[in-house]
Structure 1
């Protein structure tokens, strides 16, 4: 099995990249977010690889980090999510954003990915809510609070502050991130008014 490729970018297509490794070009399928960040033809590249072997085909899927590859596999543990849908989700949301959306049970954010309808989005947030924290990456510090918000068990001032910010037009994730930062600065005893004020300050940066 191929675990990682180190080579030179030969060509970038709509859904794949050709990686030249000592004269052998490997076709690697990637999320659009990955393709937009790997560089240009002639530049060096390192991709973490997941190899799919089927009776009639062999496919390589490439990722910029181990965490992205882990999400690719984790998403496919959900019924109705195959490689194509998993790549669509990773094209739409970064790993930390996926973790946040699942913790907040934000089905709308998950549904932004092409091919992900309401039923699949519901399955993703339901089946992965206990697994997502281990794959939160940059979102790890506040993922516990977001789970509480998503499950409706957060402290009243926190819930009220998130609700107030979403009513002002911010997304649930933006509001939760802002309130998490506000809570860190204001302390656990802060009331909703203070959390809203500090949250708006965070959002204006």
Structure 2
């Protein structure tokens, strides 16, 4: 089973890329997001690969980062979501955005993807809420922009420190980020770290 392709980008098509690995060209189906981020033909490239084996075929799906590959896997565990729909969702939403949509139950965001109707969007948020891939979008702040002195969870500042504190208490990064963001919206600008942590714990206790 192929898990990674490292070589030089040979060429790309509408939904695929060919990577030359030591003179052998491997064709991988890619999301539009991955294709947009690929280097120019002839340059070095590395794709994280999901190999899908069927009785009559072997297909490679290539991604530039593990978060997108992991979401590709998880999405297909939902009834009605095959490779085509999973790629359509990843074309529409980056891993961080997908994590946010699933965690917050944002069916409208998921519904923007081709092939995802209201029923499937509901199924996605219902079934995947507790199955967000590890490391997929753990740094997002869920509700609007943070104040200038409260940086997002991926950086430094009271918001990031509060999220880190909740993670250290055993909560998942995504849960901690959502809880701290909810607390931030109620506490207003420039909240103290202690207040953010207490507010986050209250949100998690609901």
The Cα offsets for residues 167-187 of structure 1, whole Å up to 9 and x where unpaired, read as xxxxxxxxxxxx8xx5xx324
| Structure 2 equivalent of residue 103 of structure 1 | 103
Larger proportion of helix: 1
CA distance in 2, matches of 1:51, 1:133: 18
1:136 aligns with 2:137: yes
| Structure 1 equivalent of residue 54 of structure 2 | 54
| Structure 2 equivalent of residue 18 of structure 1 | 18
- Superposition deviation, residue 145 in structure 1: 5.9
- Superposition deviation, residue 47 in structure 1: 0.2
| Structure 1 equivalent of residue 125 of structure 2 | 125
Contact 1:95–1:137 (Cα < 8 Å) also in 2: no
| Structure 2 equivalent of residue 45 of structure 1 | 45
- Superposition deviation, residue 139 in structure 1: 2.2
- Superposition deviation, residue 189 in structure 1: 5.2
- Superposition deviation, residue 39 in structure 1: 1.2
- Unaligned runs of at least 5 residues, structure 2: 142-152, 154-162, 164-173, 197-206
The normalised TM-score by structure 2 is 0.71
Greater Cα offset, 56-65 or 136-145: 136-145
Contact 2:9–2:19 (Cα < 8 Å) also in 1: yes
Query: Secondary structure of the residue that 1:139 maps to in structure 2?
Result: coil
Query: Secondary structure of the residue that 1:73 maps to in structure 2?
Result: helix
- Superposition deviation, residue 115 in structure 1: 0.8
CA distance in 2, matches of 1:110, 1:37: 22
The normalised TM-score by structure 1 is 0.71
Aligned residues: 164
| Structure 2 equivalent of residue 85 of structure 1 | 85
| Structure 1 equivalent of residue 144 of structure 2 | none
| Structure 2 equivalent of residue 176 of structure 1 | none
CA distance in 2, matches of 1:88, 1:33: 10
- Unaligned runs of at least 5 residues, structure 1: 162-178, 191-205
CA distance in 2, matches of 1:126, 1:101: 11
1:186 aligns with 2:191: yes
Contact 2:70–2:133 (Cα < 8 Å) also in 1: no
CA distance in 1, matches of 2:105, 2:191: 26
